[in-house]
Structure 1
Amino acid sequence: MENNRLDYLRQKVLQLPFSPGVYIMKDKSGEIIYIGKAKALKNRVSSYFRSIDKHTEKVYRMVMHVHDFDYIVTDSEFEALVLECSLIKRHCPKYNILLKDDKGYHYIRIETGEFGKIQWVKQKLSDGADYLGPYTSSYAVRNAVEEANKVFMLPTCSRRFPQDIGKGRPCLNFHIKQCIAPCRGRITPAQYEEIKEEAIRFLKKGSQSTVTQLTAQMNEAAEALDFEKAARYRDRIRSIQKITQHQKVINSKLKEQDVIAVAQNGKKACIVLFKFREGRLVDKKDFMIGEIESLESARSAFLSRYYMNESDIPRQIMIDGEYEDAELILQYIREKAGRKVYITVPQRGEQHKLTEMAKTNAAEMLSLGSARTGKELSALDELARLLGLKEPPAYIEAYDISNIGSSVIVSGMVVFEDARPLKSNYRKFNIKSLSQPDDYSAMRETIQRRIARYLDENDHDAAFSRLPDLILLDGGKGHVSTILPVIQQSGLSIPVYGMVKDDKHRTRAIAVDGGEIAINSHRRAFTLVSQIQDEVHRYTFAYSSKKHTKSSLESSLTQIEGIGPARAKALLKQFKTLKAIREADVAALQEAPSISKTAAEAVYRHYHEEDDQ
């Protein structure tokens, strides 16, 4: 894709002032495709038309569609922020972050007639069913319906009653006591209707009101000596209490707050917002925001865009990391709220756990559209934050050295892509420059050769054609300080860290140049690094063992008259094992490259003379 207007745009940029303001990018048809603010208009706008190939894909596409731009000078950067938000709200440009979550109107659908089910739906239909709602929060509706069905053991399967009664065995929900199983035919329509009415009351009035009424009914049944009915009421009360206790896990000590976190997977990103009111989680919003330039810019853009349209702004906003223009964003949100608002990046305690929960949910949302799980994406995200990386390392290379005396010195490279082993890109290295074991020198040679392969334009090996986002070395800070100069001298920029083991050969910490980073308390990152360290050790040790075994076999063959190292290698390549060589006749031995009839007879005689003896 080419933009033949670039020269014109670069000339126009020269006329811009170094003042704060807003710039407006337009396409050929005059449609606004991007709006941004700047502290210095000339510097910011000119950056779009310099070094275009270094832009992210999203920014590159935008620049290729820019036909012209306008700008508005403001008196301050804060005025630029307010104007930017106002213009974005009015024009909704395609390349700005558009906050579209899964919210619409949602309803609770209650089937009428015998054995009617309770479901949550997105549309109200004229189908004869009763509806509760509308509700704006899909999260609240979904949770309420799931809780009601679980507490009162109502069916959630696809079977239709009464027509499907007796047509099959009860499903798993019956056996784990989460369904009263009308399919068995042991509950009457009247009994079912009573239970359903209790569930509807639970949905309308809440758990406390329902518990009060069920307790009265339980006592009444007990006084009438109907202990079976009293036991059923008791079980429902316990179920409601259990659900309530579960809800307390995600309650907040702060009465009102929003909790925000962003997760990234390659070019995609997702932001999750938890809304707590009266100390309870009342809503969850998911925003898929596509490609982002950085996590800091994504958080900043989200805060300004979301609260631009939000009337319910709490006093406390927790967010999972730093964000650009922090003072401006805080001032903007405070003016929108008309009172003091605090934006905090919690580092520990309950609030930190809530931001981590929001981040996990964002990772799960991202995983729905990829082959990766939420845990894998969370592990990469946690590792990036632990190491101070700008974004999660999607492509990781790990290296280890293995020595068996001075005869076998090798190294291994394993690759993890999106937190999973990419075995097609594993590679082995025979260390050529050493005659004695020296782990530091062996690692230096390995990395030098790996970088040389990348820089060689004639090398088309897929494993060496891509630079890693992160290099992990099996070793401590000594290995890191040995390899960092190699990376720097090559002109490349690759983060390098070591993987430190304890006395029991288990991952203990991550080594940096001059120290260590504790990792045990970061569960998902710890699990991923441990997996990488175990895998690179396994791969490298297996190669060194195989090479040592082969070397020993070659050594035993060279004891035969007329068999040197070259012929020993040829025999092993042809027959794979000493047993196969022993069992071969002279004609078969001659089929191996460079093995003459005399040499074949010598090998045959060597083994068969041993057999005779």
Structure 2
Amino acid sequence: MVTSTKTIPLIKDPDRLEDRLKEIPTEPGVYLMRDSSDRILYIGKSKKLRSRVRSYFRDSQRLSDRIAIMVRQVAEIEFIVTDSEAEALALEANLVKQHQPYFNVLLKDDKKYPFICITWSEDYPRIFITRKRQLGNAKDKYYGPYVDVRLLRNTLHLLKQIFPQRQRPRPLFKDRPCLNYDLGRCPGVCQQLISSEEYRKTLQKIAMVFQGRTRELIDMLTANMEQAAEALNFETAARIRDQIAGLKSLNADQKVSLPDDTVSRDAIALAANEQHASIQLFQIRAGHLVGRLGFFADARSGTPGAILQRVLEEHYQAAEAVEIPAEILVQYELPESELLADYLSDRKGKKVTILTPQRQTKAELIEMVERNAKYELERTQRSSDRNTQAMEDLANILDLPDLPHRIEGYDISHIQGSNAVASQVVFIDGTPAKQHYRHYKIKNPAVTIGHSDDFASLAEVIRRRFKNFVAADVAADGVT
């Protein structure tokens, strides 16, 4: 059997590696690293492609554990040349969003913080809170992740009172609207008593709140109220007046004292220990704190400035142009601050400034964000310590040589033998991994009404759960 040289990692073939590096130009652009299965491992950008790619393979270069693992898998390197660094950043953002390479995902997706989702892909979009950011439909929009879950729920509850919208995921009745329609809380979406275009206009107003554009929305509604009053349409004017009052109450207690409070700005800072970095981003619009977003990253993945830059890149890549603020305050100098500012300015259509404040009010704001990140890191660490202690106790009770990494639990449920189902729950390092939860329908014909058999049902579920692993072991042993 002959193995192609392209399936061998470059690090094990120095001659091919050197030839490949010489082929890479010194111009700005994007590089793609692939493994032996042609899977994209990582997508990066640089103003000098050859120097940047070569740095991964220098013996003197100190790489993080995560990147070192990636480099050992690289079997091929591709590149795309661009005219400028800003174009390289934009292209990298699009390619990462399209391919989602494993080693590009800096932020930990642990379902810790919730998002707001608006399903623009549907004729009558839904709006709801979720901890799973699905990337299947590009039209659907996610806002977050938000740190304060209670505040987020209260905000969404109030918005449902201010703006009539669908209250249920599915219609309650087939031929008539529910009580929410009579109360004025829903425009009758289930019976299509409002057109899709009109309903989307309502949802666009709600989206402006999560984009941090509440002040702009209030100004727009104020103009609409005045027009309705001039046209003697006092009922409409009164309804809009109530909407304005509700919106003003959203941020009534979230005043942040800053000079130039008409400037929209984001402030980002982190706190880190040896393994984890807790990052918080405060969104301030018109002097009000309208959003507090939270992220977690691997503290070993880079310098604090590099981590902040990557968080900002991933955050603004998913944001709309109107969500990008005019000013961004950062705790540490970013490695490519000017490049990121130019990229964001191009997207926004206006100048975006990135500052590292050292004194006065803006520096105090960064300190406040850092304190919040530190508190969140400490809280998470305490929870992790409790999980570790529980895992150690379990290992002692079961006389295990090591702490269990993955725990699966199964249970059977039925109604006197009918409709038998099984549930699977999963814990990873002591934390519920709900993305791996599963349900099974029992197919055993012997399990019927009046005759339940939990042992046989469990045997079936375990067999179905691990049949692929058994088949893989058989194939590895050469047995057919």
TM-score tier by shorter-chain length is 0.3 to 0.5
Task: Flag the structure with more relative contact order, 1 or 2, with Cα contacts below 8 A and sequence separation at least 6.
Answer: 2
Larger Rg: 1
> TM-score normalised to the size of structure 1?
0.38
